[in-house]
Chains A and B, each alone.
Chain A
Amino acid sequence: MVDSTNVDPFDQMPIIHIENDIDYHYLVEKALRLASIRNPVRFFTNGQQALAYLQTTNEVPLVILCDIIMPGMDGFELRDRIDADPVLRLKAIPFVYFSTWSTKELVEKAYQGTIQGYHLKGERFADLQAELLLIVAYWKRCLHLRSFQ
């Protein structure tokens, strides 16, 4: 189905989705595929798993979508661990919070770390999909270190 000779390298970069509610793994995958976005999605249910993957993989992720409130290592801690890792820090993978929930206090705390966005999943499926397409489109367009590799 896919014309392998005409593949945009940005379409092959994995999207990292960290979310403890696996229903959302399904919904996010569904929303991307229904919109014909072919990037692979790497799902993790907590920060610990995601960090282990990021520290070992050779893949160049397009963007990290991360929930905030999770059992185990939550979004804030993951963010700080990535920042504290010199190799990961140098990779400068776009880090975006993707949550159902926002309060002034949470947003304030989120932006104390180095992040590239705070997006809400929305009420309805259409809202979720619109938000995702916006993020992916943005990071495909946005210039980045990997644009020069």
Chain B
Amino acid sequence: MNTLPSNEETKRLAALESYDILDSLPEQEYEDITLLAAQICGTPVALITLVDGQRQWFKAKRGLAFSQTPRQDSFCAHNIPVASTPLIVTDARKDERFRHNPLVTGEPNIVFYAGEPLVDEDGLAMGSLCVIDSQVRQLDGGQLAALKILSRQVVNLLTARRKTIQQARLQRQLRASEARFQDLVMATPAATAVFVGRDMIIQQVNPPMLAIWGKDDAVIGNTLHTAMPELEGQPFLAQLQHVFDTGEPFLHQEGVALVIENGQPKQVWFNHAYNPLVDEKGQIYGVINVALDVTSQVITRQQLAEREARFRTIVEQAPMAIGQLKGRDMIVELGNERLLEVWGKDPSVVGKPLVDALPELEGQPFMAIMENVYETGLPFHGTAVLAKLVRQGRLENVYFDFSYSPIRAADEQITGILILAVEVTGQVLARQEINKSELRFRSLVADAPFAIAVYETADLLITLANDVMINLWGKTKAVIGQKLAEALPELADQPFIPLLNVVYATGKTYHTAEQSARLLIDGRLQTRWYNFVYQPLRDGQGQVYAILNMAVDITDTYIARQQLQLSEQRYRDLTADLDNRVQTRTQELLLANQDLQRSNDNLQQFAQVASHDLQEPLRKIQAFGDLLGGQLADHTEPSVGDHLLRITNAAARMSALIRDLLTYSCVSTRQQVFDPVSLDAIMAGVIAGMHEVIQQTGARITVDELPIARGDKPQLGLLFGNLLDNAIKFAEPDHSPQIHVDYFYRSVAELPLDVRPATVAPFYHQISVTDDGIGFDKKYLDRIFQVFQQLNGRSEYAGTGVGLSICQRVVENHGGGITANSRLGQGATFCVYLPA
């Protein structure tokens, strides 16, 4: 058996290949071994054969000319399946396996063969060490042992050879890898530097890195510190050493550096990566620094950020509402202030789905429109659309011009919706207002009780005329749309068309009153009178575009007034005449008044004289009468005393009369404006002043509570004093008078018929003084208030007869009335009525 299973054979052939020995040049070590084997075994031939797939090749051959044979002729191939004993053939000519072998039958005519297999460290047989002879031989034990030793020696040589080959290959690979690494460093566009050792000796640096450093390749071999002293104080060296010490890679993102490029300072940004370099033993021996110039990215990003910021600013400051919704849920991603204002929301809505942000949209069409935009990608534009939005807690009707546009990502996918909206509530309301006012105007015109027409353009086209105007013209509605001059040809020689042209040209309103016009009415040219206005109508630019004509037919009033004016003139003449007469009368009255004033002054002076000068002699009559009375007290003639008494009594009476008359004349006959006074207080004062006479007579006076009334205190004092005085005075002889002062509040209807107050008022204060005295006969009622009227003999009841006249005058001065009620011997009641 000289074959192996194919997989074993493949392994064996691979192993054989690994020695790289087939077809190699002869080598002394192998030659020496075959020499030794031949000499020890005493054979002419000794071979080291290596069995390849198709042949056997001799690494060393002693005593043989050729260097290989086909494998099927090989004796040694029989050694390949490893056996415990070497193959020994004593006589190949007689051996069934070899007797037909060409090496037996021909050159070198092999008879004897002994082969020791070459088994390597993996137990695979590569071939054998064999000795050959052309005659029959026997090997002894010593020779066989030597052959075995020598074969092992061959295997040793093979093993050593393979090791050498492997090492050489590794060396080659290492060199290639290093070269590749260096090429890579130098060729990479990323700035790269390799530092070795803790001092960071620059082992390798490529041009981009040198450009960053601003150095040339002279730095190679120096420490980083020496090469770039300017890094002192910057963190780079420390960072590199940290990587070196810890083995942790370090990434410095977008470090900024100021470099000088073409003499210009320039900011550059780098991403720096420091990675440890580890040798085959896992030891860190250096750091590789790769720097990526990211300046353009950074600048691009800055520009992008700037553009974004600018865009945001524009959005924020835009006068229109701008918002951005994201995703199918319409999340509010962005909304400028204007949008929030328009929505009536605060910034907290950002980040919420629109449905939550504006719940009031429920039931309004906007969500559906947005969903449609999102679905179809077709933008939506709305003009003056009504939206109901909650603002400041109130649902408001708001109008918008707006658009919803799809926002697309780079891949054309719709990612959101851009809202642009302008609130036009004011404009819409204004337009509605204008429409309303236009309607109002038209109905006003139609319903106006006076004639209205509008003439448009300089041609004065009748665009509007109400029924009143058409009737006034005596035309039909057919005139509307015609030029005024053509509709009313009778105006041709009248001033109206030129007037209208002036109004149209100047823009100044023209008013006129009582203007006559000749119009063709009922087929007859009639003259009628009008008040009318030509008012220019201006468009938005202030340009006159039409004239409003309002007219009132005043023909009837005009004619009536013409007549009125005539009668007025007559009336004026009469009035003037009357005025003259009144003036004359006034002058006369003025003079009369002055006379009266003089006469009053005279009266005042008379009163002075009366009170002083007239009283004086009476005083003396009394004084001397008194003196004389004293002297004549013991006179024998009794009539002397009596005469003297009469003289003094007469003087006293005269004195009292003058005093009362003076009082009466001093109570002014003029009605005055009075202040409110307390009647209670006045009555109390009067009673206090009369205490002496009250004591003497034993009179009892009861007084009701009296009101406050308007009046003159002294005059009312006189009134109450005289009434009470009378009540006491006219008592039954030897009877203490009982007097009641009563008060009633009376309406005018309750007044007695005989009381005619000087002033008519709705209510009156009634003050009644009732006594139980002698009374009087009612038939004298109208006399008792007259001056000097005394119903009683003066000897019994002292008095001047002026008291009640004073009372009446006081009451009249106060706008009141006085009356009395009595029956002879039944007492009397005096009732005073003062306006309340």
The chain A residues found within 8 Å of chain B, CB to CB, are 21, 23, 27, 30, 69, 100-101, 121, 123-126, 128
Contact = CB atoms under 8 A, between A and B. Distances in A.
Contacts of B612: 69, 100-101
A121 B624 CA distance: 14
Residue of B619, B620, B624, B655 most packed against chain A (CB within 10 A): B619
B351 to A, nearest CB: 95
Contacts of A23: 620
Nearest to B623: A125
Contacts of A100: 612, 615-616, 619
Contact of A126 (B620, B624, B626): B626
A123 B627 contact: no
Nearest to A101: B612
B652 interface: yes
Contacts of A101: 611-612
B128 interface: no
B620 A123 contact: no
Contacts of A126: 626
Contacts of B619: 100, 121, 123
B405 interface: no
A30 B603 CA distance: 37
B622 A123 contact: yes
A126 B615 CA distance: 17
B615 A125 contact: no
Contacts of A123: 619, 622, 652, 655
Contacts of A125: 622-624, 626-627
Nearest to A125: B626
Interface of B: 611-612, 615-616, 619-620, 622-624, 626-627, 652, 655
Contacts of B620: 23, 27
Nearest to A34: B630
A30 B626 contact: no
Given A21-B616, A100-B616, 13 more contacts: A23-B620, A100-B612, A100-B615, A101-B611, A101-B612, A121-B619, A123-B652, A123-B655, A124-B626, A125-B622, A125-B623, A125-B627, A128-B623
A105 to B, nearest CB: 11
Residue of A100, A101, A124, A125 most packed against chain B (CB within 10 A): A125
B627 A30 contact: yes
Contacts of B611: 101
Contacts of A69: 612
9 contacts: A21-B616, A27-B623, A27-B627, A30-B627, A101-B611, A121-B619, A124-B623, A125-B623, A125-B627
A128 B223 CA distance: 150
A21 B612 CA distance: 13
Contacts of B616: 21, 100
A101 B607 CA distance: 13
A100 B611 CA distance: 10
List 6 A-B pairs, minimum CB-CB distance, nearest first.
A125-B626, A125-B623, A124-B622, A101-B612, A23-B620, A27-B623
B536 to A, nearest CB: 78
A130 B582 CA distance: 63
A69 B612 CA distance: 10
B618 to A, nearest CB: 9
A100 B618 CA distance: 12
Contacts of A21: 616
Contacts of B615: 100
Nearest to B656: A123
A46 B559 CA distance: 88
Contacts of B626: 124-126
Contacts of A121: 619
A21 B623 CA distance: 14
Contacts of B624: 27, 125
Contacts of A128: 623
A126 B652 CA distance: 14
A23 B620 CA distance: 8
Nearest to A126: B626
Nearest to A27: B623
A43 B627 CA distance: 21
A101 B612 CA distance: 7
A27 B621 CA distance: 12
Contacts of B652: 123
A61 B60 CA distance: 197
B396 to A, nearest CB: 80
Nearest to B629: A125
Contacts of B623: 27, 124-125, 128
A51 B69 CA distance: 199
Nearest to A99: B612
A27 B620 CA distance: 9
Nearest to B612: A101
A25 to B, nearest CB: 12
A128 B626 CA distance: 11
A128 B623 CA distance: 9
A24 to B, nearest CB: 8
Residue of B620, B623, B627, B652 most packed against chain A (CB within 10 A): B623
Nearest to A69: B612
Contacts of A30: 627
A126 B616 CA distance: 16
A108 B624 CA distance: 32
A123 B652 CA distance: 8
A27 B619 CA distance: 11
Contacts of B655: 123
A125 B619 CA distance: 8
A14 B401 CA distance: 120
Contacts of A27: 620, 623-624, 627
B619 to A, nearest CB: 6
A143 to B, nearest CB: 33
A23 B619 CA distance: 11
B800 to A, nearest CB: 15
Nearest to B618: A123
B630 to A, nearest CB: 8
Nearest to B655: A123
A124 B623 CA distance: 5
A126 B626 CA distance: 8
A123 B623 CA distance: 8
A60 B616 CA distance: 32
B665 to A, nearest CB: 15
Nearest to A21: B616
Contacts of A124: 622-623, 626
A52 B620 CA distance: 29
B654 to A, nearest CB: 12
A109 B616 CA distance: 22
Nearest to B616: A100
Nearest to B627: A125
A2 to B, nearest CB: 23
Nearest to A121: B619
A125 B629 CA distance: 11
A137 to B, nearest CB: 21
B712 to A, nearest CB: 15
Nearest to B628: A125
A21 B616 CA distance: 10
A126 B622 CA distance: 10
A101 B611 CA distance: 9
A148 B495 CA distance: 116
B562 to A, nearest CB: 68
B613 to A, nearest CB: 10
B606 to A, nearest CB: 15
A69 B611 CA distance: 14
Nearest to A127: B623
A68 to B, nearest CB: 11
B615 to A, nearest CB: 7
A123 B611 CA distance: 13
A125 B611 CA distance: 19
A95 to B, nearest CB: 22
A62 to B, nearest CB: 23
Residue of A30, A69, A124 most packed against chain B (CB within 10 A): A124
